[in-house]
Structure 1
Amino acid sequence: MTPRAEYPRPHFDRSHTWSSLNGDWDFRADADQHWDRTISVPFAWETPASGIEAHWLPVAWYRRRITVPAGWAGQRIVLHFGAVHHEATVWVNGTEVARHVGGYTPFEADITDALREGEQEILVRVSSPADKREIAHGKQRSIPRDDFDGVCFTPSSGIWQSVWLEARPATHVAALKLRPAEGLDGIEVEARVEGPAPATLRLTVRGHGTTVEIPVSDGAAPQADGDAGHAAPQADGGVARAVPQARGRVVRTVLQIAEPRLWSPEDPHLYHVDAELVSADGTDRVAGYTGLRRIEVSGEDLYLNGQRLFVRGVLDQGYWPRTGITAPDDAALRRDLELAAAAGYNLVRKHLKLEDPRFVHHADTLGMLLWAEPAATGRFSAESVAAFEAQIAPMTERDGNSPAIVIWGLYNEEWGLDWDIPGDPAKQEAAARAYDLLKALDPTRPAVENSGWAHVKTDLLDWHYYDESAASWGRTIAALLNGDQDDFPVPLGPDYVVRKKLTGSPSQPLRGLPNLNSEYGTGFTSVQRGWQLRWQTQEMRRHDRLAGYVYTEMYDIEHESAGLLDFERRPKDLAGVDPAHVNATTTLVLDVVPVAPGRDLLSETGRVTVPVRISHHGTDSVSGHLHTAWSPVFGPAPARAGTAGERAEAKPFLLGAPAEVHAELPDGWTSGRLHIALVSDDGIVLARSAVDVDTHIAPVIGDDPQARP
């Protein structure tokens, strides 16, 4: 059975004429004399799934013999690689056809002129240096080690995304860029045509009655820029002609849509675009798609299609137990998104990795928002900056059609900038230049130039804040969002804490941009992590000024046990905390500073009064009565909402006024979990939270005196 047999490039689809080359390839290390091993492509050679499990192998070779389908005669044959870490040289029948540097970006080679009669031989040499500090490598471990080695994982070397053949005419569609029109009533199309022959391009929006026929310049005399051509659907269903804007072989037009249906997480509607190019070289057909949606920054708020957006995100690093940075199958990519949605998240931040394009595709179809970013380098040098920047254009070209991607990330916590943006103008310039490069390619999405620390040029003011103390967490979050302070503590070692500023340059404003805490989450056990998830998240929901958060992280990876799920994507014991309740559109904010897991609130008598507020990020106001019920400490929410109490309400994106809950431990209980639910007038549970009450008021180990009520 061929591994990863699905078509690998859904945003630029030529699947009617392709052949997968995944599966068994001959394999040998550089020093070996014989091809005596077999590797399963596309799994990195360190992984069990590859069949090799070789570690710190600097150079290796792949070989495969193939036969080109007879039906492809007369066309150009193109060999595609989704991603190869890190440097690849490719020969076909002894002729070098490609050389590519960069472990996360795709490349291709027209191999037609190297083909012979009968069987063909493909040979690939891959170099994957142990010292990765000046190359883009994300979370792969390096020797010598990176400064961030403690959060790095097993390297993933060699071919780690799909390999395939395609057939196309000599004159063909080389790229198809699709973006929503300004009024969200059409699709802006930019088609790049390559090849020797004059051609006619015909575009169709599938299933919506819009057809456009576009004559393409032969490229002999590039035209001056002008207004883009527009084509509207004809009432009689006929063909509308457009006068395109062209420069060389690039053609632009707008496909108008009479009754547009917008893409959103609630309705992830996609518009498919078929492109057919007819020339003397033959007919080329490709397909792409996009969604009609707009992501905007307006002051300190984010808006999606004109409606306020609160980001409820989770970090996903894209690793699997036996397959490394390659998903074991296509279903695993989709499953990770479904697990995030089930936990209440509306956005996934794919961390320091250009993920498999099919992950982006599944997000598009499921309606999961994405924060996408390239792989990090490990030290600052001219070479490492160039390696990092080389990923930006391929990233935006490959994934830019996706409606799910609403945020582009770039550098992360000054990785590859030696953790010193504030102290070095050259590093400030590198971060700002990365931002400018990206925004020149895609001005439609907000971009973050250095996630978490020391911003110099950004559309979002995000920060990474970790704190084991619930009391100091609440105080610091409030101070950051109230404007009382512009820095926060960052532990860089067991006894080494620095204060990181939000900005690393006087030109970067501290106000007037959306604030996001884009990494948080603490606790050494799963019980502690569940506790911190509940209380830390509710403290952020207390502040209307916040534009969102990204929890770290969805699942464990190797030695890193920070996930809500284990590495196999199985649920962990979160002591009765349901992430879906924590991350719901409507949730409860309790005016309690908790003491410790299992002892949120101390009461000698067992009687408690808890002020409760509603945080609501929907489009309409919500209201209902607060209901209470008891269970043992760490117990899950009961099926029934319990005893009704005071009424509470909230308007969208405004924290509600407090309503009090009064309760007493059942007779004979010395501790218990008080479940609090907001129930609508028609009996629907709108939000849930809980507080653990303990009558033993003696301090516990690690108790923060300031946390005691």
Structure 2
Amino acid sequence: MSAALPRVASVPRPEYPRPDRDRSDRWVPLNGTWELDLPDGTVPVVVPFAWETAASGVARTWLERATYRRTLSVPAAWAGSRAVLCFGAVHHRAVVRVDGVPVAEHVGGHTPFEVDLTGVLAAGPTGVLEVDVEAPADKRAIPHGKQRSIPRDDYDGVSFTPTSGIWQSVWLEARGRTHAASVAVRGDSLTGFDVTVTVAGDAPAGARVSVEVAEGSAGREGVDLVAGADGVARGRVEPADPRLWSPADPHLYVLAVTTRADGAPEEDADTVRVTAGLRRVEVQGEHLLLNGERLYVTGVLDQGYWPRTGPTAPDEAALLADLELARDLGYTLVRKHIKLEDPRWLHAADRMGMLVWAEPPAPSRFSDAAAAAFEAQLAPMVERDGNHPSIVIWGLYNEEWGLDWDIPGSPARAEAAARAYDLLRTLDDTRPVVENSGWSHVRTDLVDWHYYDEDPAAWAANLAALADGSREDFPVKLGPDFVVDKSLYGSAAFPRGGVPVLNSEYGAGFTSLERGWHLRWQTQELRRHDRFAGYVYTELTDVEHEMAGLRDADRRPKDLGGVDPRDVNAPTTLVIDLVPAHAGADIPVPTAPLTLDVHVSHHGPSPVLGRVRAAWVPAGTPFGAEPVPAQAESEPVKAEPWELSAAVRVTVPAPGDAPAARLHLWLEDEDGQVRARAYVDAAPVEAPNRRGARTGG
């Protein structure tokens, strides 16, 4: 490598990439400046940022082939150990060479892979590491998520700049000559951990494996295991006084997994520290349960993109800040959209108690080869991420992308969706699986649906019909001039009841004010119907041309017109019997007393008893720390958990002569605590301006 090559000021993303499977006592980060051979010359490139990004220093789009190069040395202190070269993710096909000798090939842009350098590069000497990468511009037959393709695919309008080359961390770590290559931990029994250790190295068969609770328990409970002839050891560890993981108490255990060959001395043992939690997520009829208690999904969709760095966070602070942002906005689940996110993000979700809906990328044109490539990701996905208690839902295909929008009309495409479901359930039967998010379900644990509508009356009416089963379909705009009715069900044989039904994408509005308005009223209608098991709002932040975020692409606040998402997403909310007219003008300014019927939707563990109070304030006034003096109040209302209350009536006097005003409404319980807040804007309701329209010849 050229000695004159420019260097970044510090190693980007310097933190250990796998804190949930910790070997950070002996590791070397390989992020930083590498060489990149292009068809027209050699340039420096900053790893781990995709070569399309500004942060990489290359910023080349539609480059299909390039070779990464840097020097590499195994620390001399690692003599006698195995040095393993680890790649978080490389899109799409990577061939790894050391000193010109091919040592590995990997296909799949989101799944990790590793190379054992034993016998390839000795501890001490320096070698040359090269990674040849192929990233096809035509991505239609390969799993690529929301990357643009040439030729374009069906969802080009909602796709982003491609992500090519090395886009997650690269590092070296030392392991024992016989070591745990993977450790699967499942805590869904709620009393202990079922552990599966796959041993690799010199002598996997008969290897001695001990699993000990190193953190999270007052004791040091453990079990000693012996790997079978297949190199796999299985056993169970039961902590004393089991403490469950939940959003309210995200308690984690650390299991120290120590492995050595049969007969090898203790000093040759290899140890990896694995993080896990005791929790169970299950489906019971039309309800989701977490640890046996009813779970309502209050989610937000997150694409995981940053302006200068694409799908790779610029630093760990930015990566984890998005989780804090989602929580601060009142969400309890993040749907990480068709992207296998950085393991440090998932580890942080485990620690803070954020629930996660995880899903891999898909191809965009159906073929047997494309379906096989999609399915090939699933085992590595579960192996990488299956230990995270935060992941409570696995998603698979999204909106029939890669299935040509045609599950109902194509037995082969329907079978591909069902086959992916069966495969994932075989790999992990501890979480519900959605085979095709959005509509056309043929085999799924959750009937989810994506529905966007700018008309509040149509939104309310269609949600009511979906909730009571009188309607199974809804309009979906698949293109600028292509609207079709998509059904919840892709098969007449799929049961019309007994499976949880939830929304997993919604939102509307062109301006940020309109987005806030729709967020408020559309979420209210979702909360009106007790049958629904939750919702996922689209989306957390803007991405490139997609301006649907609650924050912009730089995570700066937007003007949502006074809407506080924390009120919208609260466990207890108000549901007003009103179809609003326009953003900023829900109703005309009343000239006589105004009467509203109000319900309470409550998802707490015990009933709430209180009164709905109301008061006019100047237009645009947000809620303060304390409510303004009430001008009216309802009769007492009792909200039972998971049941929309009966309506109570609130009558307020007219607001006076102001041209516009805002009506604050709040639920105050018997102890004087405000449990829910909402508002109604009164202003002139104008018909749309159509002056200047020209018709005819």
Which range, TM-score by smaller chain?
Answer: over 0.9
- Aligned-pair CA distance for 1:181: 4.9
- Aligned-pair CA distance for 1:132: 0.5
CA–CA distance in structure 2, aligned partners of residues 388 and 415 of structure 1: 11
Counterpart in the other structure of 1:232: none
Instruction: Tell me how many residue pairs correspond in the alignment.
Output: 669
Counterpart in the other structure of 1:262: 244
CA–CA distance in structure 2, aligned partners of residues 218 and 186 of structure 1: 22
CA–CA distance in structure 1, aligned partners of residues 243 and 237 of structure 2: 14
Q: 2:565 aligns with which of 579, 596, 601?
A: 579
CA–CA distance in structure 1, aligned partners of residues 231 and 133 of structure 2: 34
1:311-350 to structure 2, matched below 5 A, reads 311-350=297-336
Counterpart in the other structure of 1:216: 226
Task: Please tell me whether the aligned partners of residues 589 and 659 of structure 2 are also in contact (alpha carbons under 8 angstroms).
Answer: no
CA–CA distance in structure 2, aligned partners of residues 284 and 9 of structure 1: 16
SS at match of 1:527: helix
Counterpart in the other structure of 2:149: 142
- Aligned-pair CA distance for 1:506: 2.3
Counterpart in the other structure of 1:645: 633
Task: Please tell me whether the aligned partners of residues 181 and 254 of structure 1 are also in contact (alpha carbons under 8 angstroms).
Answer: no
Task: Please tell me whether the aligned partners of residues 209 and 233 of structure 2 are also in contact (alpha carbons under 8 angstroms).
Answer: no
- Aligned-pair CA distance for 1:112: 2.1
Counterpart in the other structure of 2:56: 50
TM-score by length of 1: 0.92
Task: Please tell me whether the aligned partners of residues 586 and 616 of structure 1 are also in contact (alpha carbons under 8 angstroms).
Answer: yes
Counterpart in the other structure of 2:17: 8
CA–CA distance in structure 2, aligned partners of residues 285 and 323 of structure 1: 34
Q: 2:486 matched to 1:519?
A: no
Task: Please tell me whether the aligned partners of residues 207 and 231 of structure 2 are also in contact (alpha carbons under 8 angstroms).
Answer: no
Q: 1:664 to 1:86 in 2, by over 3 A?
A: same
Counterpart in the other structure of 1:237: none
Q: 2:75 matched to 1:88?
A: no
Q: 1:201 aligns with which of 182, 186, 209?
A: 209
The amino acid that maps onto 2:181 is A
Task: Please tell me whether the aligned partners of residues 575 and 635 of structure 1 are also in contact (alpha carbons under 8 angstroms).
Answer: no
CA–CA distance in structure 1, aligned partners of residues 593 and 556 of structure 2: 37
- Aligned-pair CA distance for 1:120: 1.4
The amino acid that maps onto 1:271 is Y
- Aligned-pair CA distance for 1:683: 2.3
Task: Please tell me whether the aligned partners of residues 83 and 117 of structure 2 are also in contact (alpha carbons under 8 angstroms).
Answer: yes
Q: 2:459 matched to 1:470?
A: no
- Aligned-pair CA distance for 1:623: 1.9
CA–CA distance in structure 1, aligned partners of residues 423 and 685 of structure 2: 58
Residues 290-331 of structure 1: CA deviation (Å, up to 9, x unaligned): 111110100000011111011010000111000001011112
TM-score by length of 2: 0.94
Task: Please tell me whether the aligned partners of residues 449 and 488 of structure 2 are also in contact (alpha carbons under 8 angstroms).
Answer: yes
CA–CA distance in structure 1, aligned partners of residues 399 and 225 of structure 2: 48
- Aligned-pair CA distance for 1:668: 2.2
1:310-389 to structure 2, matched below 5 A, reads 310-389=296-375
Q: 1:62 aligns with which of 64, 68, 77?
A: 68
- Aligned-pair CA distance for 1:166: 1.1
Counterpart in the other structure of 1:289: 275
Task: Please tell me whether the aligned partners of residues 223 and 237 of structure 2 are also in contact (alpha carbons under 8 angstroms).
Answer: no
- Aligned-pair CA distance for 1:215: 4.0
Counterpart in the other structure of 1:243: none
The amino acid that maps onto 1:370 is V
Counterpart in the other structure of 2:105: 99
Q: 2:239 matched to 1:251?
A: no
Q: 1:218 to 1:640 in 2, by over 3 A?
A: closer
The amino acid that maps onto 1:251 is A
CA–CA distance in structure 1, aligned partners of residues 565 and 655 of structure 2: 27
The amino acid that maps onto 1:506 is A
Q: 2:479 matched to 1:493?
A: yes
Q: 2:160 matched to 1:153?
A: yes
Q: 1:277 to 1:148 in 2, by over 3 A?
A: same
Q: 1:662 to 1:638 in 2, by over 3 A?
A: farther
Q: 1:213 to 1:472 in 2, by over 3 A?
A: closer
SS at match of 2:25: helix
CA–CA distance in structure 2, aligned partners of residues 161 and 604 of structure 1: 57
Task: Please tell me whether the aligned partners of residues 295 and 445 of structure 1 are also in contact (alpha carbons under 8 angstroms).
Answer: yes
SS at match of 1:49: coil
Q: 2:665 matched to 1:676?
A: yes
Q: 1:566 to 1:697 in 2, by over 3 A?
A: closer
Q: 2:576 matched to 1:590?
A: yes
CA–CA distance in structure 1, aligned partners of residues 502 and 377 of structure 2: 25
Residues 532-551 of structure 1: CA deviation (Å, up to 9, x unaligned): 00000000100011000000
Counterpart in the other structure of 2:172: 165
CA–CA distance in structure 1, aligned partners of residues 164 and 128 of structure 2: 22
SS at match of 1:16: coil
SS at match of 2:269: strand
CA–CA distance in structure 2, aligned partners of residues 217 and 697 of structure 1: 73
- Aligned-pair CA distance for 1:606: 4.9
Counterpart in the other structure of 1:273: 255
Task: Please tell me whether the aligned partners of residues 585 and 685 of structure 2 are also in contact (alpha carbons under 8 angstroms).
Answer: no
- Aligned-pair CA distance for 1:630: 2.5
Q: 1:174 to 1:623 in 2, by over 3 A?
A: same
- Aligned-pair CA distance for 1:382: 1.5
1:502-517 to structure 2, matched below 5 A, reads 502-517=488-503
Residues 344-365 of structure 1: CA deviation (Å, up to 9, x unaligned): 1110000011111111111100
CA–CA distance in structure 2, aligned partners of residues 575 and 429 of structure 1: 46
CA–CA distance in structure 2, aligned partners of residues 5 and 154 of structure 1: 25
Q: 2:80 matched to 1:74?
A: yes
- Aligned-pair CA distance for 1:334: 1.3
Moved more, 316-325 or 625-634: 625-634
The amino acid that maps onto 2:308 is R
Counterpart in the other structure of 1:414: 400
Counterpart in the other structure of 2:5: none
SS at match of 1:15: coil
CA–CA distance in structure 2, aligned partners of residues 276 and 699 of structure 1: 72
- CA RMSD after TM alignment: 1.5
CA–CA distance in structure 1, aligned partners of residues 134 and 69 of structure 2: 15
CA–CA distance in structure 2, aligned partners of residues 525 and 698 of structure 1: 18
